[in-house]
Structure 1
């Protein structure tokens, strides 16, 4: 079995253990809280041929994962329309509207999300959603998943000086929550998002919900999980609980 970046080969020490006492967890939204990438892919696959992109040939999942997933719409507007940014912005806005229409009936939480939600709430941890998604999309997904009261803040890449893969959104979340990067970690599912978390100095747990493992590993996550039921995640959280308990008994 391949050992993910940052993991001890004996699996005796989680790369998250140094964060004890844990103060906060930061969550990406798209693809992390819900498996929304297939819906985005469907929207792009339908709309890009209409503008003649790729000679009118629909994009592949591999193309979507490498060039689109997790990227900010400002960047995608330039990518699709390098000589007409305003037209690019109109296209991405139309695409997000299609996503919202499709998503209303299709959004499902990533497996184990509500189990993790209870774990976070039981320990009184601070939490924020940090996303490159437009506000309408973020609010739709968070509400549909029943998480509107769960997050203290929703930080948007578009409301920072730079969106992901720059660290700005995660640095802003740390500031808003008034927590230390030394006691906080991130859940992300895209290369862009993992790079943003790592650049902010945070350990990132990557989810393989929509993107190939080899691409995610290049962004240097602490480790990868399939979903929030993954035993690797719960072993790491259990170790954090153990260290917190030991610290309490010693004080």
Structure 2
């Protein structure tokens, strides 16, 4: 199958050049990780005498890395990472993060699984000689074991995690780095994600974007965002990426 025929029509029309690479986000795009993240966050909160957060809040808080998630949970606010320095000492944060780190490592795939259709899409893209990259804000210590446990690590030629570079998404550096590592231009790639961080990062790097509508995006439907957070294409199922 040629690269021209693997993609659905709306995705194939994104680039004037033949698309040679697809960059995927992880949480909320390929995997539903909120249940395990919630369990780890709630264990952390309970260890310091706080009420559990629950999945609704954690769904809003994920997407900007583990540190931001923990800070938001400690403050019980969506902007808790911005307020962190005023409310918690580094020692208190570090102690809480250690509890989360241990709890999450113990249950990485206890409830986390691939969204329906992910395996067939990854397999089809690889069969069509499309290069696959993964760009996540999740720390590497969690990402690699998770990919291996779900048996999808072998699909990706390049994996960039939240602690690999100086900046995370929504900064363009992760996408620019992935393009360099995969030896493709911005006009030969697309980014697939579920949040405004994915859209902003890719757009700033000159890469066209496909947003999945079933993900997290801080509790806001990705289709409701405007301006520089708008994706080029929206899909309701990962299988709509390909023809």
Label 1:227 to 1:51 Cα distance change in 2 as closer, same or farther (>3 A): farther
Aligned with 1:227 (options 234, 237, 241)? 237
Per the alignment, residue 120 of structure 1 pairs with 125
Task: Please report the TM-score for the alignment, with normalisation by the length of structure 2.
Answer: 0.77
Aligned with 1:138 (options 119, 140, 143)? 143
CA RMSD of aligned residues (A): 2.6
1:1-150 correspondence to structure 2 within 5 Å: 14=10, 16-19=12-15, 20-51=17-48, 56-59=50-53, 61-66=55-60, 68-76=61-69, 79=72, 80=74, 81-82=84-85, 83-150=88-155
Aligned with 1:195 (options 169, 191, 200)? 200
Q: Deviations over 1:18-74 (max 9, x none)?
A: 32411100111222221112221232233235446xxx34335443343x2111234
Name which of structure 1's ranges 131-140 and 104-113 shifts more when overlaid on structure 2.
104-113
Unaligned runs of 5+ in 2: 1-7, 75-83
Unaligned runs of 5+ in 1: 1-11, 239-251
Task: Please report the TM-score for the alignment, with normalisation by the length of structure 1.
Answer: 0.75
Q: Give the total of aligned pairs.
A: 218
How far apart, CA to CA, are the structure 1 residues paired with 2:163 and 2:188? 26
How far apart, CA to CA, are the structure 2 residues paired with 1:185 and 1:163? 18
The answer to whether the 8 Å contact 2:28/2:216 transfers is: yes
Partner of 1:25, secondary structure, is strand
